[in-house]
């Protein structure tokens, strides 16, 4: 610590320097003190030191003066600049307000790719422009509801994230307004099905490669190449048979063929999975499996466009097909990754003797996921076209409930494997040839006795129960016999229109709902059922057809398979002569 004497000396020195500074300041200002000059003349050494110190102080004061003057000038300029800026901002504000006043919002909006909200147009003077985000945010609370979603209150990063999500969605899915509502369930189940199918195919391929190595009598590369080429070449025969034999069935029974082909494909994959257990018969087993896979793949590729066509609302079938392919690639890659992961797992943690059993154990799980997903995706598709089965479901609801079934109700009632029979006592309908519908001369005369130019012929064939045998009595002891009214056979003329086909199907629906008359014998009941149902069908066909068209069904053409399109041609004179012969 410093002593009190040293503190007093420092204080005295400070006071002395301050007094000398004041004297110099008074001298520079022209107020020189003569008493201080006289003292300095008496002490020349002190005067010399004082002069040197004052020179230093004078330089510092000049510097300080220059700095203060510059700072004051800069502060002045800053103040002036601020005033000018405030004035310019005020003027800009007035111009902006004037611009905002000039911008008149219009009831025109624009939706762009990668955006969750709509941009509104405004009339700025004579120019049409889009409103800025700030202006759009102000207009988002208007009563017109111009914007469905306004992300402007979010940060820039969140808006960029939402934009990337929208870009990804636009890459894999079509616009919501361009497809029907049932597309999304179809896409969801199809994505799941493709993952399971791809994983199942990877494991089956692994089993086939293992079977080639186990069953090769020659070198493994040569045997693998020969067997693989042979199985592919012979398997293409299945693709050829499907493409040449089904024809119009691809259009009439789209769902049933798709589901049936998926069953065939799954069975083929199962055959490939068991090939390591029969390595010596690799070529025969692999060929059969490849034929089944060719049938499944070909049928799936053929029936996919009619299904995708029902989703298009803006004639955007190409867009839907492209987005479906993108989804398929992504799902197949996920399934491929899962299959490879299973292969690595079994290589590391499963013994060599049990490695062949792992794909076989996983097959029931993957096959169940595959088939259930296909079943759900086909059930979710609401086809607008009308085939025989859908027309029967619509006509049955019209006769019973006096209203049409919706597309969703029809999709739920459609059978994907076997044709629908509506209920336990239904009358199965078969569209067939005239020879099957009228197999005798009496049946032909009964069909054309009222009108030779009728567009269709409907005959009723009663059901004949088989006699019980000893074995049938044993197995059918506790079971009720099947109660069918019979079956209806419908033959179409070459002049039959779609409305005529609907009338024939509607007549069959009326026959199903006719009351049973005990007062008539078999022949009289047959004639009464045909005539009464025909009268009711003629009375209802116009209203039935109009309701079908108004409900969105495409009734301009009834889709029939190749086996159902067998129209008959007749000569009026010859038919009349046959009718006379029959009456004799």
Q: For the chain, give every domain's residue range.
A: 181-380, 386-464+481-583
Strand order in the sheet with 119-124: 103-110, 119-124, 127-130
Mean pLDDT per block of 10 residues along the chain (584 residues) reads: 54 57 49 46 56 56 44 48 49 44 69 61 79 60 43 59 79 88 93 95 88 56 58 67 67 87 93 89 84 87 89 89 93 94 87 84 94 94 91 92 89 82 69 87 80 86 54 45 66 92 93 86 86 92 93 89 84 74 64
Residue 192 is predicted with a pLDDT of: 95
What pLDDT shows up at residue 185? Answer: 93
Nearest to 208 by CA among 360, 361, 346, 335: 360
Sign of the dihedral through C-alpha 441, 447, 451, 455:
negative
Is 181-380 assigned to CATH 1.20.1250.20?
A: yes
User: Among candidates 487, 496, 502, which has minimal Cα distance to 395?
Assistant: 502
Give the Cα separation of 425 and 402 in Å (integer): 20
> What was the pLDDT predicted at 44?
56
What are the percentages of helix, strand and coil residues in the chain, rounded to 5? 65, 10, 25
For the four alpha carbons of 367, 368, 372 and 373, in that order, the dihedral sign comes to negative
Residue 62, pLDDT score: 47
Helix (H) or strand (E) holding 580: helix 572-583
Element counts in the chain: helices (H) and strands (E): 20, 8
Dihedral over Cα of 424, 429, 430, 434: its sign: positive
- Write down the pLDDT at residue 34: 45
Please tell me the pTM assigned to this model: 0.69
Give the CA diameter of the chain: 175
pLDDT at 14: 52
Q: Is 147 left (phi over 0), alpha (psi -120 to 50) or beta?
A: beta
Residue 561's pLDDT is 84
Question: Who contacts 429 (Cβ-Cβ below 8 Å, separation ≥6)?
Answer: 388, 392, 487, 488, 490, 505, 508
Distance CA 116, CA 264 (A): 44
């Amino acid at each position: 610590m410093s002593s009190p004497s040293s503190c007093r000396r420092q204080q005295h020195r400070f006071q002395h320097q301050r007094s000398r500074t004041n004297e110099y300041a008074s001298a520079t200002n022209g107020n020189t003190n003569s008493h201080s000059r006289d003292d300095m003349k008496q002490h020349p050494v002190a005067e010399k030191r004082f002069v040197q110190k004052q020179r230093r102080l004078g330089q510092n004061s000049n510097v300080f003066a220059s700095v203060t003057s510059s700072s004051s000038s800069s502060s002045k300029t800053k103040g002036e600049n601020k005033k000018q800026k405030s004035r310019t901002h005020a003027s800009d504000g007035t111009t902006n307000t004037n611009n905002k006043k000039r911008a008149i919002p219009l009831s025109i909006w624009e939706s762009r790719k990668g955006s969750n909200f709509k941009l509104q147009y405004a009339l700025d003077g004579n120019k049409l422009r889009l409103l800025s985000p700030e202006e759009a945010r102000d207009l988002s609370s208007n009563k017109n509801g111009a914007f469905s979603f306004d992300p402007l209150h979010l940060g820039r990063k969140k808006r960029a994230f939402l934009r990337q999500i929208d870009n990804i969605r636009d890459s894999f899915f079509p616009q919501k307004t361009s497809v029907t509502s049932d597309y999304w369930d179809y896409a969801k189940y199809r994505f799941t099905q493709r993952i399971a199918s791809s994983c199942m195919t990877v494991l089956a391929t692994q089993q086939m490669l293992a079977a080639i190595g186990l069953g090769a009598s020659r070198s493994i590369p040569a045997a693998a190449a020969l067997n693989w080429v042979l199985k592919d070449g012979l398997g293409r025969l299945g693709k050829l048979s499907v493409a040449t034999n089904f024809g119009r069935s691809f259009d009439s029974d789209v769902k049933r063929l798709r589901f049936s082909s998926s069953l065939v494909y799954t069975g083929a994959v199962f055959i490939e999975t068991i090939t390591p257990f029969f390595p010596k018969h690799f070529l025969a087993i692999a060929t059969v499996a490849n034929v089944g896979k060719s049938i499944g793949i070909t049928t799936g590729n053929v029936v996919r466009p009619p299904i995708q066509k029902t989703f298009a609302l803006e004639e955007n079938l190409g867009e839907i097909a492209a987005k479906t392919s993108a989804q398929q690639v992504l799902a197949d890659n996920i399934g491929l990754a899962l299959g490879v992961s299973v292969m690595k797992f079994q290589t590391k943690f499963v013994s060599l003797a049990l490695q062949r059993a792992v794909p076989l154990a996983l097959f029931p799980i993957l096959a169940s996921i595959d088939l259930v997903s296909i079943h759900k995706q086909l059930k979710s598709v609401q086809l607008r076209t009308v085939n025989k089965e859908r027309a029967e479901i619509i006509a049955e609801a019209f006769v019973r409930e006096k209203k049409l079934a919706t597309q969703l109700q029809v999709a739920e009632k459609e059978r994907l494997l076997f044709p629908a029979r509506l209920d336990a006592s239904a009358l199965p309908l078969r569209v067939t040839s005239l020879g099957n519908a009228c197999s005798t001369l009496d049946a032909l005369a009964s069909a054309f006795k009222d009108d030779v130019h009728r567009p269709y012929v409907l005959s009723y064939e009663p059901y004949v129960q088989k006699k019980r045998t000893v074995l049938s009595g044993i197995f059918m002891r506790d079971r009720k016999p099947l109660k069918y009214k019979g079956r209806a056979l419908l033959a179409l003329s070459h002049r039959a229109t779609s409305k005529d086909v609907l009338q024939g199907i509607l007549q069959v629906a009326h026959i199903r709902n006719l009351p049973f008359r005990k007062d008539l014998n078999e022949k009289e009941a047959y004639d009464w059922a045909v005539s009464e149902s025909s009268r009711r069908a003629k009375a209802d066909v116009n209203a039935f057809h109009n309701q079908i068209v108004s409900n969105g069904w495409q009734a301009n053409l009834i889709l029939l398979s190749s086996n159902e399109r067998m129209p008959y041609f007749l000569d009026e004179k010859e038919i009349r002569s046959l009718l006379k012969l029959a009456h004799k």
